[in-house]
Structure formats: structure tokens, C-alpha cells
Amino acid sequence: GAVVSQHPSRVICKSGTSVKIECRSLDFQATTMFWYRQFPKQSLMLMATSNEGSKATYEQGVEKDKFLINHASLTLSTLTVTSAHPEDSSFYICSARVGRTDTQYFGPGTRLTVL
Amino acid sequence: QKEVEQDPGPLSVPEGAIVSLNCTYSNSAFQYFMWYRQYSRKGPELLMYTYSSGNKEDGRFTAQVDKSSKYISLFIRDSQPSDSATYLCAMSARTGNQFYFGTGTSLTVIP
């Protein structure tokens, strides 16, 4: 099956710093990638949809300037949490859409802890 | 009304039992139906993918879609402790990128 990787798997940072999370599709080209946030024992919350070469589409309530998304190539999308605060601590998961199918393959997730 | 409804559980069964997980939905435009398994602190893993109505079987897993009732199910036969996880249903319409996820059902299989 399609493989999606995320890096780093875990990050701890101080309040006010910026953190970049990378999402890569390893064995396929992903024209569309998605970024989710998940709180403990809750379902996935879609943050934004990212299409290669164009600006990301953010869901209502998600701050574009705080969560910067770049999808510069067909295999890489990045999420940068700018000026992170403790309330940004969460589990961030990316996924990639495979070709023309309507299914997504998820990365392993990144656990962000902001002190 | 939510687009997708899923009983959060938790569901606890003995090893070897047949497990039935279900989701209902309200949007008749949904054509693609997926089941994901998520272990604690991991990303969801695609288990089953079904297009339109019908059944699909893969090993111990069977996915059923009943579009007339707007109801999908995942059956797990001969459940194992390693099946203990949260199971998420997801669906999308024929066009567009919008995916809709259930809230997930937490399953524990007791040895």
C-alpha cells in the first residue's frame, strides 16, 4: 500500500518558537495532502487541504497565519506552527490522496508539546 | 445533524468473538466508504475501501455498505487482542476532496 511518512514523530518546544512538520509520500505522488489535528480520545479534525503548487484551503476556525502549509512538490508538504503556545500542543497527522481515488493514506503522526 | 454518526463505545469483547462496528450517514451523495484502524498514538491505517453498495471481504474483515439505509458496517471475525484499537469510518462523495469521518469506536478484545 501507499506509504506516508512524517517527521519528526515527536517534538517538544518552548512557547513562542516555530515548529515545522514534514509529510512525505514515499512511493507515490500526492497531488493532494491533508493536515489533521487530533486531541486525546477524539476524532480527527481537518485543518487544511493542500494541493501541490497552490495555496492551502483552510477549514473554518483554523488560523492561516499560525498554521503555515506549503506543498512545494508532489511528495512533500510541510506544516509550520508559528509562535507556538501550549494550547497548540496536540497530535498532528497528515494524509495523502492517492491519484484519482477517493481514499487517503495517513502518516504516523507528530506529537507536539509546547512548554 | 452530523454528516456521519458513529457510536464511540467503548466496546469490549472476548477473544474469538465477532465484532460489528457501524456508522450511519445523512448525505446520499457519498459513494466512497472507508474503515481505518488507529492504535494509540499512531496515525490511522486504512483497513477497507468500498465503492458504492455491497460487501467486501479481506481476511477476517468484511465491510458492508447499504446505501438505501445510509448505513455501513465493519465485521471482524475471530477477533484477536491485536485488534484492540479505535476504528474510524470515513466517506466522501464522488467529486471533491471533502472527507467525513466518524468519531471512532474504541474496541478492546480481551484475551
Residue B95 has pLDDT above 60, yes or no: no
pLDDT at A95: 93
Residue B66 neighbours by CB distance under 10 Å = 13
Q: Cell 454528516: give the residue.
A: B3
Do the strands A104-106 and B71-76 form a parallel or antiparallel pair, or are they unpaired?
unpaired
Mean pLDDT of chain A: 91
**SS3 state at B52:** coil
Tell if the CB–CB gap between B102 and A43 is shorter than 8 Å.
yes
pLDDT at B57: 95
Give the 3-state DSSP-derived string for chain A, with helices as H, strands as E and coil as C. CCCEEEECCEEEECCCCCEEEEEEECCCCCCEEEEEEECCCCCEEEEEEEECCCCCEECCCCCCCCEEEEEEECCEEEEEECCCCHHHCEEEEEEEECCCCCCEEECCCEEEEEC
Q: Which of B97, B102, B104 sits opposite A97 (nearest CB)?
A: B97
Q: Which of B42, B92, B103 sits opposite A102 (nearest CB)?
A: B92
B35-92 pLDDT, tens digit each: 999 998 899 999 998 888 889 999 999 999 999 999 999 999 999 999 999 999 999 8
Closest residue, chain B, to A97 (C-alpha): B97
Residue B96 has pLDDT above 60, yes or no: no
CA dist list (Å): B95 to A32, B3, B19, B44, B92? 14, 16, 32, 23, 8
Tell if the CB–CB gap between B45 and A107 is shorter than 8 Å.
no
Mutate to test the interface with A, among B40, B99, B107, B108 (most CBs of A within 10 A): B99
Tell if the CB–CB gap between A102 and B31 is shorter than 8 Å.
yes
Q: Average pLDDT for residues A92-98, to the nearest whole number?
A: 90
Note whether B103 contacts A: Cβ–Cβ < 8 A.
yes
Give A-chain residues touching B34 at CB under 8 angstroms.
103-104
Pairwise pLDDT comparison (B94 vs B47), residue with the higher score: B47
Residue A44 neighbours by CB distance under 10 Å = 25
Pairwise pLDDT comparison (A97 vs A94), residue with the higher score: A94
Do the strands A32-38 and B19-25 form a parallel or antiparallel pair, or are they unpaired?
unpaired
Closest residue, chain A, to B92 (C-alpha): A102
pLDDT at A1: 67
CA atoms of B36 and A50, how far apart (whole Å): 21
Give A-chain residues touching B102 at CB under 8 angstroms.
43
Q: Average pLDDT for residues A60-83, to the nearest whole number?
A: 93
* Residue A99 pLDDT grade (very low, low, confident, very high; cuts 50, 70, 90): low
Tell if the CB–CB gap between B97 and A49 is shorter than 8 Å.
yes
